[in-house]
Amino acid sequence: MALLELKGVTKQFGGLMANYDVTLSVEEGEIVGLIGPNGAGKTTLFNCITGYYKPTSGVVRFQGREITGWSPDRVCKTGIARTFQIVRVLKEMTVLENVMVGAFLRHPQAKDARRKALEILEFTGLAPRQDQLARNLTIANKKRLELARALATEPRLLFLDEAMAGLNPSETNDAVTMVRKLSEQQITIVLVEHVMKVIMPLAHRVVVLDSGQLIADDTPERIATNERVIEAYLGEKYRAASRSH
Ligand X SMILES: Nc1ncnc2c1ncn2[C@@H]1O[C@H](COP(=O)(O)OP(=O)(O)O)[C@@H](O)[C@H]1O
Q: Which residues bind ligand X (CB under 6 A)?
A: 13, 16, 18, 36, 38-44
Which residue number, 45 or 152, has a Cβ lying nearer to ligand X?
A: 45
Rounded Cα distance, 11 and 58, in Å? 9
- d(CA 122, CA 133) in angstroms, rounded, equals 17
Contacts of Mg ion in 71-100 (CB under 5 A): 85
User: Looking at beta carbons only, is 43 or 141 nearer to Mg ion?
Assistant: 43
- Binds 33, which of Mg ion, ligand X, none (CB < 5 to 8 A, cut-off by type)? none
What does 36 bind: Mg ion, ligand X, none (CB cut-off 5 to 8 Å by kind)? ligand X
Residue among 133 and 215 whose Cβ is closer to ligand X: 215
Q: Is 47 in the site for Mg ion (CB under 5 A)?
A: no
The binder of 71, among ligand X, Mg ion, none, by C-beta within 5 to 8 A per type, is none
Say whether residue 43 binds Mg ion (CB under 5 A). yes
Q: Of ligand X, Mg ion, none, which one sits near residue 239, judging by CB under 5 to 8 A according to partner kind? A: none
Residues in a beta bridge with 190: 32, 159
- Beta strands (DSSP E) in 29-114 are 31-35, 57-62, 65-66, 80-82
Q: Nearer to ligand X by C-beta: 36 or 155?
A: 36
Answer yes or no: are the C-beta atoms of 210 and 232 closer than 8 Å: yes
What DSSP designation does 129 have? G
Q: Out of Mg ion, ligand X, none, which partner does residue 58 contact, by CB within 5 to 8 A per kind? A: none
CB 9 within 8 A of CB 32: no
Long-range Cβ pairs for the range 232-239 (8 Å, 24+): 232/36, 232/37, 232/208, 233/35, 233/36, 233/37, 233/40, 233/208, 234/196, 237/196, 238/196
Nearest CB to Mg ion, comparing residues 126 and 192: 192
Residue 226 makes contact with Mg ion by CB under 5 A: no
Helix, coil or strand: residue 131: coil
Residue 232 DSSP symbol = I
In the bound state, the residue with its beta carbon closest to Mg ion is 43
Q: Which CB sits closer to Mg ion, 41 or 155?
A: 41
Kindly report the backbone phi and psi dihedral angles of residue 207, in degrees, each rounded to the nearest multiple of 5, phi listed first.
-115, 135
Out of Mg ion, ligand X, none, what residue 13 binds, judged by CB under 5 to 8 A for its kind, is: ligand X
Q: Does 44 bind Mg ion (CB under 5 A)?
A: no
The sheet with strand 4-13 has its strands ordered as 16-26, 4-13, 57-62, 65-66
Q: Is 188 in the site for Mg ion (CB under 5 A)?
A: no
Binding positions for Mg ion, rule: CB under 5 A = 42-43, 85
